[in-house]
Structure 1
Amino acid sequence: MGLKEEYEQARNWIRHNLDFALTAKGDLSVFETNIRFIGGLLSIYALTNDKMYLEKAEAIGKLLLPAFDTPTGIPYALVNVITGSAKNYGWASGGCSILSEFGSLQLEFDYLSVLTGNNIFSIKVQHVRKFLTDIEKPNGLYPLYLHPKTGKWGSVSHSIGGLGDSFYEYLLKHWLITGKKDTHTKNEYDAAVFAMEKKMLFESKQSKLWYFANLHGTRVEHKMEHLACFSGGMFALQSANEANSTVAAHYLELAEKLAHTCHESYVRTAIGIGPEAFRFTSDVEAKAVSVNEKYYILRPEVVETWFYLWRITKQEKYRQWAWDVVVALEKYAKVEAGYSGILDVYSLPVNHDDVQQSFVFAELFKYLYLIFADDSILSLDRWVFNTEAHPFPVRIP
């Protein structure tokens, strides 16, 4: 983007100030620290070859290792860098670890081992992957909670949205980042997606919109989360890399159906940007119902899906939809000091939450920029984005 002065300022800050061993207070989220900090630093290293970033990433990675000291090797969610102690969230089912968290470390930890030669990071995540391969999956589905001490599933809920999402994304992307050599994770991905299509994919009665519902035991909750809207991009990326043309066509069609559904959740609001979650009932389709579903916190998943579909299909509507989001963000989310989340996307005038999430820059603005940039910038044949949109190079065999 040519922002050289800003880049140098940021590099200087990272060099002199980014040291979790000195500045971190309290507990660190293993997942968030991994995808945001380690992922971001490894990505900058890949783009610049500046070893300072790699050294910072390795130092942070070492601070997270105590989280893996469990009887099963399934990591805890939180680690205290001062004491070295680790634990899970108090609200997580029965002291369990969360699927999307312990299952979304492999891209970063493997790449960290490749670059540093320190295999401890790769060993940790390979053990997690083997554990998940060997454990029984009810109806082929992965529950959202797993106890790190007993190795047993917690409450049997399933979602491709929050608490599940990036686990599936990383199965596909690890296959891609290894130059399609890691067929094991692709097989795991195929089996998981097949089970979800069978049990959790629905078409609405009125608008004929396809969506992934949440599953709680045998009870279906006909709600799709904004977080789950990433799945259209995942299926589009899968379709572009499938050798079997029939399989590729199936997943491209599914990707486009989900992209359309998520677009409908946007256009059925007052501001042209969608809610945190939307439901399908006899009365409403693709709309939020309760107050705690009506907010928008600058999430990127819908635009992320449109980015992949633009790159893969070149259908102009995906650029137009993205531009509509740009206009809506400028009109409703922009405030004096940046961009703010919105408390109710169905109400005008808007009320802001006065929070600017970091993923607005890491993901939302990046995907919007790339939709309008040339395809050669971070080409999908050469780069794989982690779940925070930090690009890693494909390791060509």
Structure 2
Amino acid sequence: MAQVKAAMKRAWNSYRLKAWLRDELSPISGGNKTTFGGWAATLVDSLDTLYIMDMKTEFNEAVDAVVDIDFSKTSMHLINVFETTIRYLGGFLSAYDLSGDERLLMKALELAHMLYAAFDTPNRMPIMRWNLHWATKDKEQGGAGSPILAEIGSLSLEFTRLSQITGDPKWYDAIERIMALFDAQQHLSNLPGMWPLQVNADQTDFFTGATFSLAAWSDSMYEYLPKMHALLGGSPQYSKMYQYAMDTAIRHAIYRPMIKDDRDILMSGTVRVDDGRVSIHSELQHLVCFAGGMFALGGRLVNNASHVNIGHRLTNGCVWAYDHFPTGVMPETSTLVPCDDEPCKWDAAKWHIAVSEHASSMDKRNNTRASDIIRAERLPTGIASIGDRRYLLRPEAIESVFILYRITGIQTLQENAWNMFRSVYSRTQTPLANAALKDVTNATDPILKEDSMESFWTAETLKYFYLTFADPEYISLDDYVFNTEAHPFKRPVPKFTKQTKGNGWRWKWK
């Protein structure tokens, strides 16, 4: 814990000195970036991390600073409503839940009222790439267009928690319109149970796409189903949607890769449906590493032990990927070879065929021997191709390790977390903080870094590492629900309160 906290202090101090009130620190040059509205994304996104790590002096200074953020002003042409919701609104609500500082709730409401205008469309579906400047000038807004599944489907936790805190149902009503459509049409997609990566938000027929995944463009939509079930105190609607979606994902998207060692691991790929024929692309995205935690948490909440087991095997798959690359860090995207049957045995010839096929499909090294491609591309054993070699300081793998450890108590998960932290921290360290890696297959060139440190490094990655080594009762999963930006929201406890009129008692969420 102490070393993780030291990493947070180092990154925070550099942000404070070099990029205060800017969205992001450039961790190599010492400059700054405007990426999410210019409203101090790293500062707001990290509020609860400061509080959780007992950096109270830094927390209090940060709260004093956020009071003056003006959300009506931005230099950006379009605002990403999803990112603004999970990073800013989620950051304010979580820090309020932890500290009780009313100023944070006031900022949350100020921001929420602004975001609410994005729902002012003919069918009340929000505009996810929203022109704030038009809205402030009362210009007419069009429809919601064709947003990404994860973006339009992942506003529910934040707006629901705001309704719970304030007692105002308008925030919950806004997102319930969206989720009611997801519920009603879940069985109507080309892969019943799951929704395609893009949504026709202006149409009555909401879901018509042919590509399905738990990974990029869809991830937090599925993640929020069991978490909404928890935040609402046991919602049949969200429990049903979660179980239906995961039943479909288990049948079609989850696969076992062919690897040389005997680890029992699973991966989650991308599914295509063409003329009724279902096929899977056996990729591995870092973003999909959240799925192990989702299955484990969902399984616990709906009392499904098989989901917890699947979550364990998915998490082990991402831990394996970290171990398997020479830097001890997994890339953004890679491709493996799926097992055709059980028992799943290693077949070097089959791996070589897959390597050649992937190289050929990308118009690279036609007629080149697989062994030469493996050497030139620095492909670890079992990896057929690497689509994106970068590591962007992402949190998804440690997120699942954290959740699985909290649910199962398996001690080796802490060992996994420590190995991951040492690799990530040592490889990404700069004189100021930590930077994204350009190529996780190159263990010898320390210069291969990008001048980028997104706010999720301090908001999520370091927080999940820290909490993995903390007392399991600290920020307990029984008491909190984490949004997709790792902001913990209090799970409200129903209490009996005396009615002001009439006789008897009624439930009220506290």
- How many angstroms apart in 2 are the aligned matches of 1:388 and 1:71? 30
- How many angstroms apart in 2 are the aligned matches of 1:318 and 1:40? 27
2:231 maps to amino acid: I
Tell me whether 1:274 sits opposite 2:330 in the alignment: yes
Question: Cα distance, 1:308 vs. partner?
Answer: 1.1
Tell me whether 1:176 sits opposite 2:230 in the alignment: yes
Counterpart of 2:477 in structure 1 is 380
Counterpart of 1:20 in structure 2 is 71
What are the within-5 Å matches in structure 2 for residues 191-340 of structure 1? 191-207=244-260, 209-217=265-273, 218-243=278-303, 247-248=304-305, 250-281=306-337, 282-283=350-351, 287=383, 289-290=385-386, 292-340=387-435
CA 1:118–1:83 in 2, change beyond 3 Å: closer, same or farther? farther
Question: Cα distance, 1:345 vs. partner?
Answer: 0.2
CA 1:132–1:386 in 2, change beyond 3 Å: closer, same or farther? same
- How many angstroms apart in 2 are the aligned matches of 1:374 and 1:288? 40
Counterpart of 2:449 in structure 1 is 352
Question: Cα distance, 1:145 vs. partner?
Answer: 0.9
Q: TM-score, normalised by structure 2?
A: 0.72
Gaps of 5+ in 1: 90-94
What are the within-5 Å matches in structure 2 for residues 33-72 of structure 1? 33-72=84-123
Verify the 8 A CA contact 1:35 1:386 in the aligned structure 2. yes
Tell me whether 1:148 sits opposite 2:198 in the alignment: no
Counterpart of 2:146 in structure 1 is 96
Question: Cα distance, 1:297 vs. partner?
Answer: 0.2
Higher relative contact order (CA 8 A, sep 6+): 2
Verify the 8 A CA contact 1:101 1:167 in the aligned structure 2. yes
Q: TM-score, normalised by structure 1?
A: 0.92
Q: C-alpha deviations, 1:195-236, integer Å up to 9, x for none?
A: 111111111234564211101223321112111110101111
2:464 maps to amino acid: Y
Q: Which structure has the bigger radius of gyration?
A: 2
For residue 392 of structure 1, give the secondary structure of its aligned residue in structure 2: strand
Moved more, 202-211 or 375-384: 202-211
Provide the aligned C-alpha RMSD in A: 1.9
Moved more, 321-330 or 187-196: 321-330
| Percent identity over paired residues | 30
CA 1:227–1:134 in 2, change beyond 3 Å: closer, same or farther? same
Q: C-alpha deviations, 1:331-385, integer Å up to 9, x for none?
A: 2101011100000000121400110011011110000000111112101111110
- How many angstroms apart in 1 are the aligned matches of 2:286 and 2:433? 22
Moved more, 365-374 or 72-81: 72-81
Question: Cα distance, 1:118 vs. partner?
Answer: 3.1
2:472 maps to amino acid: D
> Aligned match of 2:436 in 324, 338, 341?
341
1:384 maps to amino acid: V
- How many angstroms apart in 2 are the aligned matches of 1:309 and 1:209? 14
CA 1:319–1:288 in 2, change beyond 3 Å: closer, same or farther? farther
CA 1:197–1:88 in 2, change beyond 3 Å: closer, same or farther? farther
1:361 maps to amino acid: T
Q: How many residues align?
A: 385
- How many angstroms apart in 1 are the aligned matches of 2:438 and 2:190? 37
Tell me whether 1:185 sits opposite 2:238 in the alignment: yes
1:296 maps to amino acid: Y
CA 1:22–1:365 in 2, change beyond 3 Å: closer, same or farther? same
Moved more, 98-107 or 231-240: 231-240
Question: Cα distance, 1:87 vs. partner?
Answer: 7.2
2:179 maps to amino acid: R
Verify the 8 A CA contact 1:268 1:287 in the aligned structure 2. no
Moved more, 145-154 or 277-286: 277-286
